[in-house]
Amino acid sequence: MKPELVSFKICPFVQRSVIVLKEKGADYDITYINLKEPPEWFREISPLGKVPLLKVGDAVVFESAVIMEYLDEVNPPSLHPTDPLRKAHNRAWIEFASTLFMCQFNMVMAKEQEACDSAEQELRDKLKLVDAQLAGPFFNGNDFSLVDAAYAPLFMRMALLEQWCPMGLMEGLPKMQVWSETLLARPAVQNSVVDELPQLYRGHIGSSGGYGAKRFGTDNT
Ligand SMILES: N[C@@H](CCC(=O)N[C@@H](CS)C(=O)NCC(=O)O)C(=O)O
């Protein structure tokens, strides 16, 4: 059955699912909503009021990591390592990626400089922890895995932020730099967002109106 992904154009969590769908060459529909004014039908079916949602027939699946797992299972071969312990390890680091998304979000949307600096430091500290896990060029070595799909949206936004406000977040992390470049060169990653993502993302940051907006955003929304 063809799934329908409910999306917000700049959401990194949604992007994870799109990367998996593209890597698998799976057929899907995508419906964009405006999270600032979510439609009634979305409120009715989204238990947390968050995207992504994956509609499959009458079923609604939420939480991006769960959606990725489902898409991986129904579109074999699996992108997870086969060894159970390695798979559990990968799942743990997928969970960790979500905390990095939040650091990045808190940094760019910070109202005050102190909050922005503290989120940036937390992001740097966490990137170091991830770097120590990398086999290279992908997370597990030579093959692309689900865990790579989970981190790629972070790197896409980091690359944009570095263009707008160089921070050297990858300095001293050469393995991570290779990982990021390898992921961002991948067609499934490049085609996982709308063309206007940079402008939308920057405008969204700019519209928050605080310190992060001045540092990273534009006021063209
Ligand atoms: N843990 C969730 C997080 C999803 C999430 O935070 N999505 C954001 C957009 S990027 C959202 O829908 N926010 C709406 C809200 O919090 O009201 C997942 O992994 O799917």
pLDDT tens digits for range 20-41: 999 999 999 999 999 999 999 9
- Is 11 a residue of the active site? yes
Ligand 1 near 33 CB (within 6 A): no
pLDDT beyond 80 at 149: yes
Query: What CATH number has the domain spanning 84-216?
Result: 1.20.1050.10
Which atom of ligand 1 is found nearest the CA of 11?
A: 10
pLDDT beyond 50 at 59: yes
Rounded to whole angstroms, the Cα distance separating 11 from 170 reads 22
Instruction: Tell me the whole-structure pTM to 2 decimals.
Output: 0.97
Identify which of 10, 11, 50, 108 to mutate to test ligand 1's pocket (most ligand atoms within 8 A of the CB): 50
Q: Domain limits of the chain?
A: 4-74, 84-216
Average pLDDT, the chain: 97
* pLDDT tier at 220, thresholds 50, 70, 90: very low
CATH architecture of 4-74: 3-Layer(aba) Sandwich (3.40)
Ligand 1 near 66 CB (within 6 A): no
Report how far apart, in Å, the C-alpha atoms of 133 and of each of 4, 24, 159, 206, 207 are.
34, 25, 21, 34, 36
pLDDT tens digits for range 162-196: 999 999 999 999 999 999 999 999 999 999 999 99
Which atom of ligand 1 is found nearest the CA of 52?
A: 20
Which atom of ligand 1 is found nearest the CA of 49?
A: 17
**Ligand 1, atom 1: closest residue by C-alpha:** 63
pLDDT score, position 219:
54
Rounded to whole angstroms, the Cα distance separating 136 from 130 reads 12
C-alpha 77: how far from its chain's center? Answer: 22
**SS3 of residue 111 by DSSP:** coil
